[in-house]
Structure 1
Amino acid sequence: MALAPTGRRRPAGRRRGSLGSPKAAGACVDRRIRLLRFLFLVFLVLVGGKAVALASSSEHLATYAVRQQTTTVDLPAHRGSILDRNGDELAVGKPAQTVYATPYLLDDPKAAADELCDALQIHRKRVRREIEKRLSDREGGFAYVARKVEPDLARAALELGLPGVGTYAEEERTYPLKGTAAQVIGFAGTDNQGLAGVELMYDEELSGKPGSETVVQDPAGHALKTVAHKEPVSGENVRLTLDREIQYYAEDVLEKAVRSTGAKSATGIVMDPRTGEILVMANVTREGFHGFGKGDAEAEKNRAVTDVYEPGSIFKLVTISGALADGRVTPDTTFDLPPSIWVADREINESHPRGTVRYSVKEILQWSSNVGAVKIGMLMEKRGLSKWVEAFGFGKPTGIDFPGESGGIVLPVDEWSGSSIGNIPMGQGIAVTAIQMASAFSAVANDGVQVKPRLVAQVGTTVHDDVERHRVIPSKVARQVRAMLKVAVEKGTGTKARIPGYEVAGKTGTAEMALPGGAGYAKGIYVASFIGMAPADHPRLVVLAAVNGTAMYGGDAAAPAVQKIMRFALQHLEIAP
């Protein structure tokens, strides 16, 4: 009998490639091996990365540690010296030491400050407190204790053995002649940067280039070794045209002139008219010069180039030179001169009362006639006179190599008032600097050729011998004016400038001092001046002195000063008559 179906199916056969076959089992193993390799590589990358990170961190920490134990100090360059024309020192660097500290290495800043101040002989309480304050700044890695002290004092500070206290060499700027020529030389600050005068004008050349030094310190702040050193480059020397001997003598003469005349100040210039070299540029005041930054701005200024004044009768040589050059007059042209003359709304008088006279141009200059100068100026007319004012260089800087030069005050001719043609020919209504006046006078001394004035003869190895010159008046006119100026000294208003054995040519000037703010003039208070040249026929020197704020005239207040300075300079330079 047949059996009925149960509904169950026979199990199907296994598929190809199942684990049941040896080939499938091998493939599975391969996959597992590849996975393990991949995971192992990832592990190696992670471990390697960590190692690199740790190494990098160690390197960084090592660098940081070294950095924490090093200090870098600037090495200032040697600042070039300022010399006179003969190579004598006017400004020079003196070896000094600067004491510094690393505040965070000091256990007791107050005690350290007291010890250091005692060793450095610092007694002022304010300074001691300031040093204590600097050393108490625990965040600071560097603090000055004292700048530019004597090496012996710095050595005493080091011998205290305080941690983190060190020294380095610096220069202290010194001026061997003290206040002589101070306004020209100027001064350098604590960091040896030029702040005035030639020190400022030639600061870049004088400064050089600083260096640096990095040293490794032990935990106590003591230097172990130098790890970096950059040598500083010294600055260049600057040689001036000044002669220190004549400069010193001239300042002494002018100081005595200020005292004897009751003046406020005085200015002096000695110039070689052939080369433009300034041998003397002197500025003195009643109070005297006591150093820069002492509160006396007037004593610090080089007034010979910065300050303006009305020149007075000295300016008559410009008027007469221009009139001669234009052919308006000759030395022998005569004028009838009343005691006074009206020009527009102003009456112009002579400095000394007199009656009506007949003077030649020579006599107008000899006796310094105001009315005569006005008559010549009116003959030239305002545009003719203005042309010569400009030709002699007034109203613009001379270009001398010194900072802060003024160009003076000269109104454009179209802005002249009706009385300007009366004022300007005799040196009023116009403001000039002493260097402008010396430069103009030098053109007459140098046969009509004006030379740009200069104070610097050499910078480093570069000699400044390029002379800028141009003709202002014909040589014939220059000789005529010199002859007239010689008479003015021999028997005119400038007799107190005569020098035995030499022929001197010159001109006096007396101008009322202008009040501040254009408030008119100080009655009876003058700028008394004199300018001279010698030897008169072939001048080697031009000397100007302007005495400010005196009740005396130029022939009495300034001519004697010029005589003394000129005589000394002629002898010192061995200039024959």
Structure 2
Amino acid sequence: MLRLGNPARRLRAALVVMAIVLSLFAGRLVQLQGFDSKVLQARAAEQRVRPETLPARRGSITDAGGHDLAVTVEAREIYVDPKDVDPDKRDLVATTLARELNKPKEEIAAALAKTTQRYIPLARDIEPPRAKRIMGFELKGVGMKETYRRLYPGGSLAGGLLGFVGVDGRGLEGLESAYDDILAGKDGKQSVELGANRQRIPMTRSQREAPVPGRNVRLTLDRDIQWAAEQALDRQVRATGARSGSVIVMDVRTGQIYAMANAPQANLNDWQSAPADDRANRAASEVFEPGSTNKVITAAAAMEAGVVTPDTVLRVPDHIQCADQQLKDAHPHKPEPLTFTGILAESSNVGTIMVSDKISSQQLYDMFRSFGFGARIGSGIPGEQAGLLPQWQTWSGSQRCTIAYGQGISVTALQMASVYQTIANGGVRMTPSIVAGTTDEHGAFVPSPAAKATRVISQTTADKIALMLEAVVGHEGTGEEASIEGYRVAGKTGTAMRYDEKCAGYCGYTATFVGFTPADQPRLMALAVIQDPKKDHYGGSVAAPVFKDVMTFALKSRKIPPTGTKAPAMVLRPSE
């Protein structure tokens, strides 16, 4: 007989199975909505909410007249979402973007192949019109983001001083780095909700924190004088086959720097292509032996001690024995009577040593320190070096002599410029400054504190040295090529052997001229230093012409007239 199933039993079995299935669904629902809800919500938010950084506009760097030296302009970033690019059109997208962005097609294609990534930047600093043209192709998966780029209108103008920024917009070197906290501002933030097609979901909430723009920095530089200094320096570096050079122009009364030039120098709009040395501010960072420009410090020490006057006469041979070394003048000559003024005017090493013998090593060392040698002078200029001034107790017998005329110590161009600013300012050193001030959060200009004034030597000594330096630029001095028609010029030549690590010794020369004008009412001082010139090497013939060109331009630019006076007659060689 055929036995029929029990409907009640089948129904009970089905209900049991359904109960089990429903309990599994219920358990999963409890897990999802209860235990794992926060985790899942967070994952959904990650996929749906897109955070963005809103870059702050970087502040400008200007010269004293408000002319832009470094400015931020609008730009665009072009990016791709490889997952959103149609696989059949990858070649077209790669070809188009490679052409428009001036990049290898292979590089674009490699980015498009990374389909697990949703955001790959391809190019930054794109001009808005160019970016608009790219977006006009309507390439799916290609996007554009508003950003900024740093622009240097002068190209290489003041390049070593200004420095530059990196791809993230932060300062890397120079003033861009030193004042980054002021210039950079504060980036903002924004988050929006996007759908599956990466489009913003309407009516959803977004969070936005507005960026705070950076503040501006105004320098003491005069753009025109800076340009003239760079042009004159570059011409002479090329003409003499020199390795490099620096020029500084400074206001005697305030210590404000009107020009700080270097050659060769990087184009800041393409700084990545320049060697590291060409991106440096050599005027503050490169140390060298000053040579005869250093003799004014020996003169100041001896005159402050009261052991000599400008008219003191010494019988000067062309060589002298110092410990185990015989030291000589630049040119051979018979023993001759020279006043101290004549010794300085003719840049006699032997005569300077004879004067230095009248004071102690400690007196000479203390005068070097008073003028700022062996320490950073507090200018705030990035990269400033302290130079090298050995303790006087360690000086050897010959070093005691060579230091008196500028060999055996190391300084920067900035330190030496400060020495002559001090003499020109009646013996009062004004700490050199390069930043005139900054703007506050409201855009109002806030001037920098006044430069610190320090008396180094007496007014009387400074005035006497200034007169002696005029003789250097006279017909019998070594700096005649620095003379400027109609103006009284005081200054000093320097020719020093140059230490070079590459040859592990002295190779080549450093040629220098530094001075100020009008000599009787000083307003401007300038220094020109040429490193390792191959055609001629004397400061009077290599560096003095640069000083003359730059100072002549600066006098006209600052509208400084001649005083109309004449230098008094000074005796260099007394009659025997």
Give the alignment's TM-score, normalised by structure 2. 0.86
Letter in 1 for 2:320: I
Q: Conserved in 2, the CA contact under 8 Å of 1:217 and 1:224?
A: yes
Moved more, 159-168 or 409-418: 159-168
Moved more, 198-207 or 223-232: 223-232
Secondary structure of 2:238's aligned partner: helix
- Aligned pairs for 1:400-549 (under 5 A) are 400-460=379-439, 461-491=445-475, 492-516=477-501, 519-522=504-507, 525-549=508-532
Distance 1:82 1:476, change over 3 A: same
Q: Conserved in 1, the CA contact under 8 Å of 2:152 and 2:269?
A: no
Separation in 1 of the partners of 2:137 and 2:266?
45
Separation in 1 of the partners of 2:30 and 2:502?
81
Separation in 1 of the partners of 2:394 and 2:59?
48
CA offset at residue 143 of structure 1?
1.6
Is residue 2:382 matched to residue 1:398? no
Q: Conserved in 1, the CA contact under 8 Å of 2:60 and 2:183?
A: yes
Distance 1:59 1:288, change over 3 A: closer
Q: Conserved in 1, the CA contact under 8 Å of 2:265 and 2:278?
A: no
Is residue 2:182 matched to residue 1:205? yes
Residue 101 of structure 1 corresponds to 80
Is residue 2:130 matched to residue 1:153? yes
Residue 71 of structure 1 corresponds to 50
Secondary structure of 2:383's aligned partner: coil
Distance 1:330 1:59, change over 3 A: closer
Identical counterparts, % of pairs: 38
Cα deviations by residue, 1:92-147 (Å, 9 ceiling, x for unpaired): 112111122333333328346415515x613432xx33333333323323221321
Separation in 2 of the partners of 1:293 and 1:319?
44
Separation in 1 of the partners of 2:265 and 2:91?
47
CA offset at residue 286 of structure 1?
9.7
Cα deviations by residue, 1:214-247 (Å, 9 ceiling, x for unpaired): 2222322233457121110000111111111111
Residue 555 of structure 1 corresponds to 540
- Aligned pairs for 1:176-191 (under 5 A) are 176-191=153-168
CA offset at residue 75 of structure 1?
1.0
Residue 250 of structure 1 corresponds to 229
- Aligned pairs for 1:31-430 (under 5 A) are 54=33, 64-108=43-87, 110-111=90-91, 113-114=93-94, 117-118=97-98, 121-125=100-104, 128-224=105-201, 227-285=206-264, 291-294=270-273, 296-430=275-409
CA offset at residue 493 of structure 1?
1.3
Separation in 1 of the partners of 2:539 and 2:427?
25
Distance 1:264 1:143, change over 3 A: same
Residue 574 of structure 2 corresponds to none
Moved more, 264-273 or 279-288: 279-288
Moved more, 269-278 or 152-161: 152-161
Residue 567 of structure 1 corresponds to 552
RMSD: 2.5
Give the alignment's TM-score, normalised by structure 1. 0.86
Separation in 2 of the partners of 1:450 and 1:66?
63
CA offset at residue 568 of structure 1?
0.4
Q: Conserved in 2, the CA contact under 8 Å of 1:534 and 1:542?
A: yes
In structure 1, the gaps of 5 or more residues are: 1-46
Q: Conserved in 1, the CA contact under 8 Å of 2:496 and 2:511?
A: yes
Counting matched residue pairs gives 527
Letter in 2 for 1:547: I
Query: Highest Rg: 1 or 2?
Result: 1
CA offset at residue 465 of structure 1?
3.4
Q: Conserved in 2, the CA contact under 8 Å of 1:164 and 1:222?
A: no
Separation in 1 of the partners of 2:502 and 2:244?
20
Q: Conserved in 2, the CA contact under 8 Å of 1:310 and 1:432?
A: yes
Secondary structure of 1:503's aligned partner: coil
Q: Conserved in 2, the CA contact under 8 Å of 1:163 and 1:221?
A: no
CA offset at residue 183 of structure 1?
0.5
Separation in 2 of the partners of 1:471 and 1:378?
25
CA offset at residue 65 of structure 1?
3.9
Cα deviations by residue, 1:504-545 (Å, 9 ceiling, x for unpaired): 1101111112232784423xx321110010111121111000
Distance 1:76 1:59, change over 3 A: same
Secondary structure of 2:494's aligned partner: strand
CA offset at residue 330 of structure 1?
1.2
Distance 1:63 1:314, change over 3 A: closer
Q: Conserved in 2, the CA contact under 8 Å of 1:268 and 1:283?
A: yes
CA offset at residue 51 of structure 1?
6.8
Letter in 1 for 2:90: K
